[in-house]
Amino acid sequence: MMPSSMLPAQGDDLDSCILRFPDLDLKDTNLVSPSSSLRAELDANMRKKYAHAKKKAFALLVKTKEIPEPTSCSSSLCKGVWWTCCQQVFKDQIGIHRHTAAQHAGDVYHQTSSVLKQLAAEAGTPKPCVSADKPNGLNGPSTSNHQVSVDFPDTSRFKLDELMSAQDSNQGVVLLYYCYCDVEDPEWLCAWQKALCQHLHLTGKVRIATEGINGTVGGSRLATDLYMEAMLSHPLFKNILCKEDFKTSKGGAYCFPGLRVGVYEEIVPMGINPNVISYKKPGIHLSPGEFHKEVENYLYQGNQEQNDTILLDCRNFYESKIGRFQKCLAPDIRKFSYFPSYVDKNLKLFKDKRVLMYCTGGIRCERGSAYLKAKGVCKEVYQLKGGIHKYLEEFPDGFYRGKLFVFDERYALSYNNDIVSADSSFCGKQWAQPLPF
């Protein structure tokens, strides 16, 4: 996995400002260590720029490896540029990043030194300030210029046991959220996210890409509240995210084995380049109340075969097996990257239909609906805003039956007492029991 973590800033401590890449850590004395002369150049102002210098050095080195994409590549997934290094050709950024980190750590170190010297020379030159009130669109202030603050919530007034949820306690919270937006510097956002979660003693999984962020984190109620505050005040998200975009459920840090934060091509793996099928062209969002009325109309129409509406579950078969909307179409797919293939094979089924799509939290429907719309066969495509999570908050006894599958140690959430499957798809055990993944 590509990037990177940043330790929380603590005063002017140099080691706390190091930006890491896989297999490349300037704190590792067995690899390369900053010389005493280099350390001496890092005055109080320069120390805070150390992480930026290292990341910039890495990016500059990768840039020198670029070659034009061969004209013979006709795939729509080609990006227009490849990379070559050490007599190898790399067709994606992940490959060249891993290679550079593993094989050229020394080169990155020397380039970092040059960048630091350049920054030192520019340190005395005044630069115009960017107003915090100036609107910056989806991108917010440019992270590549380090205008985004890495300040974390002040936790000094809280006791440690208030921030940390007990391992076996169900008094904590699990947050589920996503935000599609243009991210200029996903590596830096990844580093900030990891440091923030560590600062608040949160566990979970966070995926970051140039198309946005997708996270599910667990911890104490206090820690998750502080996390939401930090997200909602971040320049990149404050004009896009709102508190209602976070789905909450009982849980805590114990729901995840640890913390995983990484940069990927997609924030939910559909297997198609985000530039080909974009989140910017989704289906029409319906609130839980609007979706409920649509499902009600669908269910109470007499002849379902002649109905012009399809209620489509975008989740995997083992999710819909233990809980689903009544009379839905539930594809027999094992993972979301199979969804486009399912659509392609069943275009006749969707022809001239109104499609009501839903998933766990809404994220899979964003690009799933965009893919279905791009086929040009549907009369209209709608999606449930906030997913099943938000629907069940308003309609626990509505048209959704069974449990809600979740991708953590809880396995499933219960909002009603309905049973839609007597056993699991994998082991034949009662569906209320954890499935053996």
179, 190, 197, 359: the catalytic one is: 359
Answer yes or no: 314 catalytic. Answer: no
Give the C-alpha separation, 326 to 398, whole Å. Answer: 10
The catalytic residues are 359
